[in-house]
Chains A and B, each alone.
Chain A
């Protein structure tokens, strides 16, 4: 049966990584591109087979045991994979979107020296991501979790000769580490509480527990901290915008479609544990909402096209966490899927624009690209509408599902969340208008060189645009005549899901958000097309709010003052006082003491043979005496 072959899915990208990694300097670029993409395609084909087989199968949870990894006392950790509806659908996203991005990368990276290195890293990333998704226990998941972090680091710092890119990579790595510590501690607590790290042993136990257990709450909190780091939530979100230093396909694959959703996947996977900790769920909802709003406000004034998208990713991830927090696991996971489509699309479009403009990322130097890049323009328009949430595009369904559950949970939170959705529509259309409408604002010389991207880049754009447009079909709510296929599909994994509002309420909620989004678009249209407003240069004076937004609420500066500076001061203290004075002092004085003592002792060695012999005899006699007396 094909489900038993699931180990092939991660193995094939790993083989691709080895071939491309070893042959990065010897194989030709077209061969590397072919190998790199085709291994992902094979994985994708197997994933489709698994998905179909699982759909036809009555048993919805298959555990494929590979081998025992750790067997020590009560600790038993096998490497085994879990194929169930949740992981099957993640497999499709990771390999499917991953394949499209690999194809795109062939065009985008064709003139880069590190072509082979790039593809081997991408394949390695897919391998670890599949490990994360497929693991049937928290440890295998954690290996994948760390592995994708590593690949993220390698790819953010891909152009490592630029020191600011290299430090962005370091920043991402360190920030992720903070979250990973939480995850790891959470896993330790899980082991001590449930006596196992296997999903199949933990969740049945958790299902019989009552909410309110402190240990469970602690586990949930620690896992959530892990998710915060990986999925860029407050207060650990600052690494994601900086991660835009990597090549654009990386931003699309890792920092939009797959890796950053790992946190949501992990929480959705552990939904039974989180259901037992209502307080932590509340925390998740608040953190998610705060992230959604803060990131949306920052995105309003950014001028770098990729930074806008990065903050929009952070904001959308915030919505997903908001959904998780109010118990709408289906809605949150639905948003993961649609977001993977439209955000990958938007990043790839941005990459296409950047490629066309020869690495110009500042929107103030763009404009009027609509005619020059028709395919990019149309696909990006579709992506923008999808993220803004206009029906019948995919983002509308997933976002409104989350918002509807939030409405039932708490009206105030709903108000804030909807306002954030309006902001989303505004900043996304601002980006679209600034890039594609009006007049070109770069140099005349650069304008002549603008060209539409090659086929290998536009075809993935078109496929993703189609998916972004119709992807919502998998989760059409009953109020609109659908039957929400996704929630039926996920029902074996996600048992408890918040109740849906009645149809009348749902219509009103939808109407509010659609009208609001349309108004936001109209405002953006008025400001950036009618008035031809161009964002001011860096030095220009801004109002207080705009300044806060433009400087990202000074979060980096706050961290600098609160954490880095004190750490630096402590380090200096340890270096100057503890290390230089105390530690070195002990070692140096030992050395000094030995030298001084030797200076005195060496005088005994006078060269007088008679004295030597005398000392020898004294020694022998005292030895004899010692033995005699001690008998």
Chain B
């Protein structure tokens, strides 16, 4: 497996991560649906995870992959909290459009 991975140059992983990350950023910036924004955030997170794994293999250092496991566990918890917030927002406003949530100002 390591051999196969090493067959793909590191640069490709970096480009892929960068593209996924940018897609995530654009998604967060342009979408109004809270759930889609949330998904885009996860996309960014996973782009970083991918990068971590790639570098870990590249450097023959397993701690990067261990890191990713922790991040995934954390992300699962975060998703639970985030989704429950969105559910509560929906219950109160009957909508998941973030532009409705504009009272937090001045």
CA distance A456 to B31 in the complex (A): 103
- Which among A602, A609, A613, A617 has the greatest number of chain B C-beta atoms within 10 A? A609
Whole-angstrom distance between the Cβ of B1 and the nearest chain A Cβ:
33
**Contacts A617-B25, A617-B29 hold; do A610 and B106 have CB atoms under 8 A apart?**
no
Q: How far is the CB of A557 from chain B (nearest CB, A)?
A: 64
Contact B29 A609 (CB under 8 A): no
For A163, list chain B residues within 8 Å (CB).
Answer: none
Contact yes or no, B28 A613, CB < 8 A:
yes
**Interchain CB contact under 8 A, B106 and A602:** yes
Name the interface residues of A608-631: CB closer than 8 Å to any CB of B.
608-610, 613-614, 617
Q: Using a CB-CB cutoff of 8 Å, which residues 1-39 of chain B contact chain A?
A: 25, 28-29, 32
**Cβ contact within 8 Å between B105 and A614:** no
Is the Cβ of A607 less than 8 Å from the Cβ of B28? no
Given contacts A613-B29, A614-B29, A617-B25, contact A608 B106 (CB under 8 A): no
State the CA gap A290–B4 with chains docked (Å). 115
Is A605 located at the chain interface by the 8 A CB criterion? Answer: yes
Interface majority SS (helix, strand, loop, mixed), chain B: loop
CB distance from A597 to the nearest CB of B (A): 15
On whether the beta carbons of A605 and B101 are closer than 8 Å, the reply is no
Chain A residue with minimal CB distance to B103? A607
Chain B positions within 8 Å of A614 at CB level: 29
Which residues 61-106 in B have Cβ within 8 Å of A in the complex?
Answer: 98-99, 101-106
Q: How large is the interface on A (under 10, 10 to 19, 20 to 34, 35 or more residues)?
A: 10 to 19
Which B residues touch A605, using CB under 8 A? 105-106
CB neighbours (8 Å) of B32 from chain A are 610
Q: Smallest CB-CB separation from A614: which chain B residue?
A: B29
Q: Which residues of B contact A617 (CB under 8 A)?
A: 25, 28-29
Point out the residues of chain B lying under 8 angstroms from A613, CB to CB. 28-29
- Nearest residue in B to A606 (C-beta to C-beta)? B105
Which residues on the A side are within 8 Å of B29 (C-beta)?
A: 610, 613-614, 617
Contacts of A607 in B (CB 8 A): 101-106
Whole-angstrom CA separation of A609 from B29 in the bound complex: 10
Contact in complex: B102, A606 (CB < 8 Å)? yes
Cα(A609)–Cα(B85), bound, Å: 15
Residues of chain B lying within 8 A (CB to CB) of residue A606: 102, 105
Measured between beta carbons, the chain B residues less than 8 angstroms from A602 are 106
Q: What is the bound-complex CA distance between A602 and B104, given in angstroms?
A: 12
Interface residues in A551-608 by Cβ distance below 8 A to B read: 602-603, 605-608
Q: A613 CA to B25 CA in the complex, in Å?
A: 10
Q: Once the chains are docked, how many angstroms separate the CA of A613 from the CA of B24? A: 12
State how many angstroms separate the Cβ of A310 from the closest Cβ of chain B. Answer: 72
Minimum CB distance partner of B41 in chain A? A613
Tell me whether A609 and B103 are in contact (CB under 8 A): no
- How many angstroms between the C-alpha atoms of A291 and B15 in the bound complex? 101
Contact with B along A189-208 (1 / 0, CB 8 A): 00000000000000000000
Q: Is the CB of B99 within 8 A of A609?
A: yes
Contact A609 to B101, CB < 8 A, known contacts A614-B29, A617-B29:
yes
How far does the Cβ of A605 sit from chain B's closest Cβ, in whole Å? 5
Are B105's CB and A609's CB within 8 A? no
A620 nearest in chain B by CB position:
B25
B105: A residues at CB distance < 8 A: 605-607
Complex formed: what's the CA distance from A610 to B105 in Å?
13
Neighbouring B residues of A608 by C-beta, 8 Å: 99, 102
Bound: A245/B104 CA distance, A: 70
Residue of B nearest to A612 (CB): B104
**What CA separation (Å) do A606 and B102 show in the bound complex?**
7
Which residues does chain A contribute within 8 Å of B99, judged by CB atoms?
Answer: 608-610
- Cα(A609)–Cα(B102), bound, Å: 7
**Bound form: Cα–Cα A619–B43 in Å:** 20
Q: Which of A135-172 contact B (CB under 8 A)?
A: none
- Min CB gap B105→A, angstroms: 3
Which chain A residues have a beta carbon within 8 Å of chain B's beta carbons? 602-603, 605-610, 613-614, 617
> What would 9 more interface pairs be, CB under 8 Å, given A606-B102, A609-B101, A610-B29?
A602-B106, A603-B106, A605-B105, A605-B106, A608-B99, A609-B98, A610-B99, A613-B29, A617-B29
Q: Which 7 A-B pairs have the closest CB atoms?
A: A607-B105, A607-B102, A609-B98, A605-B105, A602-B106, A607-B104, A614-B29
Residues of B within 8 A of A (CB): 25, 28-29, 32, 98-99, 101-106
Can you name 11 A-B residue pairings with CB atoms under 8 Å? A602-B106, A605-B105, A606-B102, A607-B105, A607-B106, A608-B102, A609-B99, A610-B29, A610-B32, A610-B98, A617-B29
